[in-house]
Structure 1
Amino acid sequence: MTIKATALTPDIGVDLAGVELEKDAYDRHFIDQLRTALNEHLVVRIRNQRISPRTMTSIAGYFGPLLDIRRAGGNALHVPGHDMIKVISNENDPETGRPLGDGNCSAQVWHSDSTIWEVPTGHIAFYCRTAPTPPPTTYFLNMTKVYESLPEKTKERIKSLKVMHHVFLRQIEVAIARDAPSLPLEDRRVGRIHPLVRRHIPTNRPALYLPVRRDSLIVGWTERDSRALLDELWEHTNASPCSVSAALEPDDFIIWDNTATVHSRDGWPESQGRTMWHVSAEGEVPTPRFGERVPNTTGLSPQEAKAASAPFMQTIPAV
């Protein structure tokens, strides 16, 4: 196997050529190369592939336990017999009229998947089955580079902060993100708390980890101050040049690291269909890159150790 790697930009993305995924997906040497490419470039595209559902899930399964992310209670076909493949589509089955999958043709804002989970998705793979002409573009942004480009004063200010990711339906759609009013404050206090600067485990780099909603709450901050900081960080993110675009065509395969990137997409006319196979692999609990460390108490008496550690200890509420 001779693989040719071509960087798509200096900051993110690589094309791999000379790959036959239906065969190479079961070669551990290739999987090691794929993992290395993802750690370095965060997004890997492999074009002109013919792969089976088994191969699609096998590739993603190397990166973590697979997740059933299909919409609950729906009537969509997806891929019968392969519960871990979510079909993203605005098309219907021509024979039965059932939706081929979940999804629509709306444009989306920058986002990271499943941030309201304790253990968000680690890696995501897409396999394009059908696309309009011209195909809509998907974009990826390197959030370790975004963090690196922040002013030093901002880095110091945010390094230990945590933010609440609250539930907001369809929040990634451009129209919703732009026009939908904020939820009541009490609803925005409920969700999942993650570090604002998380560790990218493979490289130990800090990555900016933002909630989609700018009206999210920074733990310990006022609503007003939280909004001002998230506006500032999102404006900086939106201005970053460290992105790559991919207009996915039929038989394109793409996989990316969801822990250190955000992605978005263009919309397309509702009269035209696009269908993707989508597989997600579980990652790890987001850990702070610059978290507090309890002082080393080796050699201290129990009383001295307790006193030195007290400022860093947490208390659980009584039951």
Structure 2
Amino acid sequence: MTITITSLDAEFGVDITGVDLEKAAYDHGFLVQLRAALDEHRAVRLRDQRISPKTLTTVTEYFGPLLDIRRAGGNALHIPGHPMIKVISNENDPETGRALGDGNNSAQVWHTDSTTWEVPPSHIAFYCRRAPTPAPATRFLDMIKVYASLPEATKERIRTLRVMHHMFPRQIEVDIARNAPSRPVEDRRVGRIHPLVRRHLPTNLPILYLPVRRDSLVVGWTEKDSRALLDELWDHTEASPHRISVPLEPDDVVIWDNAALAHSRDGWPDSEGRTMWHVSAEGEVPTPRYGERAPNPIGLSREEERAAIAPFMQTIPAVESTPVGSAAAAG
């Protein structure tokens, strides 16, 4: 193979050409190159690919164990025999009438997939099977660069904060995100606690790691102050120029770093169909980029150990942190 890598945009993201992914997926040397490209550029697109379900899962599995992200309890068809592929579609099977997958044609707000999970996906792959003409854009936003563009005073203010990511049905749809009323505050205290400034493991750079909902709660803060801060951070994020637009056309494959990038998409008419294969690889528990670390207890007596770690134990938030029982990832 003669691989060529060209920039999608001056900001980030690359096209890889000269690759037949149906063969390259089983070449370890190529997978190493692909990982290096993603570590540096955060998003990779390969166009004009004809790949099998097995090949898509093989490529994605290189980045971590695959996750079953299909909507729990649904009756969608998806791809029989390939449970780790979630089909995103607003179409139905012409013979049975069953939905071809999870999803609809709604526009979506900026979001990171599955932040209500303890271990969110590290990398996500989309394989476009069908799209309207013109293809609706999928957009990516570099949250490493968004963090870097924050005022220094804001960086200092948020560096050690943690946020409760609570589940809200269909929270990534534009109309729901903008107009649906908040859940009671006690419901918003149930979810996953993640650092607001997360470490990007490949580069050690800080990521602004936002919950989807602006009404999420900052641990230790009041509801009012939490909302004011998240409005400030989301307003800054949505105004950021550090973005690219990638209209996905049939046979396009795009893979991206789900920790470092937020994404959104345009909607399309009800009369048009769009079908995407979606595979996610498990990442790691989000690690705070900043913050104090408890001292090394090796060699201390039990009494000395308790005294040494007591200040850190007091910072554990007194809120319920239970798994959110939804396996529906955004798409």
TM-score range, shorter chain: over 0.9
Per the alignment, in what secondary structure is the counterpart of residue 185 of structure 1? coil
Query: Which residue in 1 is equivalent to 2:163?
Result: 163
Q: Confirm or deny: 8 A CA contact 1:57 1:279 kept in the other structure.
A: yes
- Distance between the aligned counterparts of 1:188 and 1:13, measured in 2? 35
Match of 1:93 in 2: 93
In the aligned structure 2, how far is the partner of 1:96 from the partner of 1:316? 50
Amino acid at match of 2:294: V
Check whether the contact 2:22–2:55 (CA below 8 A) recurs between aligned residues.
yes
SS state at 1:11 partner: coil
Q: Any idea what the Cα deviations from partners look like across 1:1-57, whole Å, max 9, x if unmatched? A: 111111112222110010100001110110001000100111100000000011010
User: 1:297 offset after TM fit, Å?
Assistant: 6.9
The code of the aligned residue for 1:242 comes to H
Q: 1:133 offset after TM fit, Å?
A: 0.6
Per the alignment, residue 251 of structure 1 pairs with 251
Structure 1 residues 293, 94: closer, same or farther in 2, change over 3 A?
same
Contact 1:7 1:14 in 2 (8 A): yes
SS of 2:38's partner is helix
Contact 1:78 1:101 in 2 (8 A): yes
Give the 5 Å matches for 1:277-288: 277-288=277-288
Unaligned runs of 5+ in 1: none
Instruction: Please state how far the C-alpha of 1:291 moved relative to its aligned partner.
Output: 2.4
Query: What is the CA-CA distance between 1:307 and the residue it aligns to?
Result: 3.7
Name whichever of 290-299 and 86-95 sits farther off.
290-299
How many Å separate the matches in 2 of 1:302 and 1:140? 49
Partner of 1:110: 110
**Counterpart of 2:86 in structure 1: which amino acid?**
K
Corresponding residue for 2:226?
Answer: 226
Query: Counterparts of 2:291 and 2:220 in 1: how far apart (Å)?
Result: 16
Q: 1:166 corresponds to which letter in structure 2?
A: H
- For the 8 Å contact 1:11–1:145, the answer to whether it is kept is no
Map 1:1-319 to 2 at 5 A: 1-295=1-295, 306-314=306-314
TM-score by length of 1: 0.95
Post-superposition offset of 1:310: 2.6
d(CA) in 1 for partners of 2:168, 2:309 = 38
Instruction: Write the distance in 2 (CA, Å) between the matches of 1:258 and 1:85.
Output: 17
What amino acid is aligned across from residue 135 of structure 1 in structure 2? A
Please give the alpha-carbon distance, in whole angstroms, between the structure 2 residues aligned to 1:4 and 1:252: 16
Measured on the aligned residues, the alpha-carbon RMSD in Å equals 1.7
Whether contact under 8 Å (1:38, 1:257) holds in the other structure is yes
Q: C-alpha displacement at 1:225, in angstroms?
A: 0.5
CA distance in 2, matches of 1:297, 1:100: 54
C-alpha separation in 1, matches of 2:113 and 2:299: 45
* Aligned equivalents of 1:309, 1:73: Cα separation in 2: 44
Quote the sequence identity (%). Answer: 74
Displacement after TM superposition at 1:172 (Å): 0.2
Quick one: distance in 2 between partners of 1:311 and 1:150? 30
When structure 1 is superposed on structure 2, of 301-310 and 206-215 the one drifting more is 301-310
In structure 2, the CA distance between the partners of 1:302 and 1:272, relative to structure 1 (3 Å rule), is closer
Alpha-carbon distance in 2 for matches of 1:13, 1:266 = 19
Secondary structure in structure 2 of the residue aligned to 1:154: helix
| Corresponding pairs, count | 317
Letter in 2 for 1:141: L
Q: Which one-letter code corresponds to 2:196 in the other structure?
A: L
Letter in 2 for 1:95: E
User: Could you report, residue by residue, the CA deviation over 1:98-129 in whole angstroms, capped at 9, with x for unpaired residues?
Assistant: 11111100000000011111001111100000
**How many angstroms does 1:313 deviate by?**
2.9
More displaced 10-residue stretch of structure 1: 88-97 or 295-304: 295-304
The separation in 1 between residues aligned to 2:150 and 2:171, in whole angstroms, is: 25
Q: Residue type of the partner of 1:236?
A: H
- Distance (Å, rounded) in 2 between the aligned partners of 1:156 and 1:299: 34
**Partners of 1:54 and 1:127 in 2: CA distance:** 12
TM-score by length of 2: 0.92
Change (3 A) 1:189 1:4: same
